[in-house]
Copies of this chain bind each other. A is one copy, B any other.
Amino acid sequence: MSLLKGAAIVGQSGGPTAAINATLAGVISGVLSSDREAISELYGMRNGIDGLLEENLVSLTDIFSKNGKTDEDKLKLLCQTPAAALGSCRRKLPDPDKDPDFFRSIIEIFKRRGIRYFFYIGGNDSMDTVAKLTKYLKSCDYEMRCVGVPKTIDNDLVGTDHTPGFGSAAKYIACTMQEIVRDCSVYKIPAVTIVEIMGRDAGWLTASAALSGTENNGQGAPDLIYLPERTFDNDRFISDVKEVLEKKSAVVVAVSEGVRYKDGTYVGEGTQSGALDVFGHKYLAGTGKALEQLVKEKVGCKVRSVELNICQRCASHIASKTDIDESVQTGLSAVSSSVQGSTGVMISAVRTGNGDNYGIKFSAEEISKIANAISAVPDEFITDDNNYVTDACIDYLKPLICGECDIIYKGGMPVHLII
């Protein structure tokens, strides 16, 4: 494979996470630490593909260089800044066969600026963008390498052991759940607390709530966990809650926003407008509120719901060190893999050991097999009575939340980098 020389461009897309900037830092670091023979300059697109189309670009090689060297201090601050430092978008690209003009105009920009490397950090929908661009490039005379760099708190991408961003969200959820359980246990009166956790199609984040019980003989764990991988049944839920209430007064339930009834309707649907996002996904919120109402009617005890909301995806102050380190490495791997010739791939993590021997290595998986597929929580990770996760699930999740980042604070606040 001959060395492809040119500039590179990187973008961030989809929902924010606590680790997406660490992955960006990895890409920047990868470009700056190489001999620059292959990649001469790294552009950042503002707001993903939107910024590319408007040519709203910044030179990341300039921003993160200082006296001819990599500005490591700035990169460290970038790693502890949540959300997407370059901005994000939720644009779905057209099918290259149906709208080749769209892609032609993008390639024109690439040609004009000598861009030969395209890195796109994002989740499922972003991998679709990389897959489409790769597909178009096959029918075009411009040589480019396109690499999808995974990011999603949902952990629902196929072809990888887990996704950057997930570990930090899982750690936030586990730590917050432990605090909520502690909070709920102070009163003696029977009370049900329902904690609604993100996850439209996959229950990985909700499953992470179980990690809060790994210490103190499980006294920090929720009592019941409901994932979208299982059909939700109101009667069964109320019977589960009543059963726990017979043993203890403070019942804590973790429930995924995406749980659905047998007929396919979302539990939270009744409390929402039924609006769709641009990808056609139903906009959900209100599963906790709906179940709060149900418990009020059917059990009659004190009940409240807590929606962890966007905090679970942007809480970088409690990010998992494992996740942040792996996110940086994923970005580095995207650069080295593409320079070595990979294109039309997503950087994926392969677990090499578990428990104390936990580790990952990286590989490049064909992106067309990844885009638009969902990795759900497997059967062996869910208990037979469908209201908790198994020990095997906890073994899988546990290494991902380990380690704490050494956050830089000023005046009591974590320092964020704005670029």
Interface of A with B (CB < 8 Å)?
12, 16, 47, 50, 81-84, 87-90, 171, 174-176, 178-180, 182-188, 211-212, 214-216, 219-220, 285, 304, 306-311, 313-318, 320, 322, 398, 401-404, 407, 409-416, 418
Cβ contact within 8 Å between B88 and A310: no
Cβ contact within 8 Å between A215 and B410: yes
Known: A82-B183, A216-B416; 12 extra A-B contacts, CB below 8 A, are: A47-B188, A83-B179, A87-B186, A90-B187, A174-B412, A180-B310, A182-B314, A184-B310, A215-B411, A304-B310, A307-B307, A402-B412
Question: Known: A180-B311, A309-B306, A412-B402. Contact between A89 and B320, CB under 8 A?
Answer: no
List the B side residues contacting A216 at CB < 8 Å. 416, 418
Q: Which of B47, B184, B398, B415 meets A215, CB within 8 Å?
A: B415
Cβ contact within 8 Å between A313 and B404: no
List the B side residues contacting A413 at CB < 8 Å. 174-175, 178, 211-212, 214-215, 220, 401
What are 14 A-to-B residue pairs whose CB atoms are below 8 Å? Answer: A12-B186, A47-B187, A83-B182, A84-B186, A87-B188, A88-B187, A176-B315, A178-B413, A179-B316, A182-B416, A214-B411, A215-B410, A215-B413, A216-B418
Max count, chain B CB within 10 A of own CB: residue among A219, A285, A416: A416
- Nearest B-chain residue to A56, judged by Cβ: B188
- Nearest B-chain residue to A415, judged by Cβ: B215
Q: Which of B183, B310, B313, B410 meets A16, CB within 8 Å?
A: B183
List the B side residues contacting A171 at CB < 8 Å. 412
List the B side residues contacting A404 at CB < 8 Å. 407, 409, 412
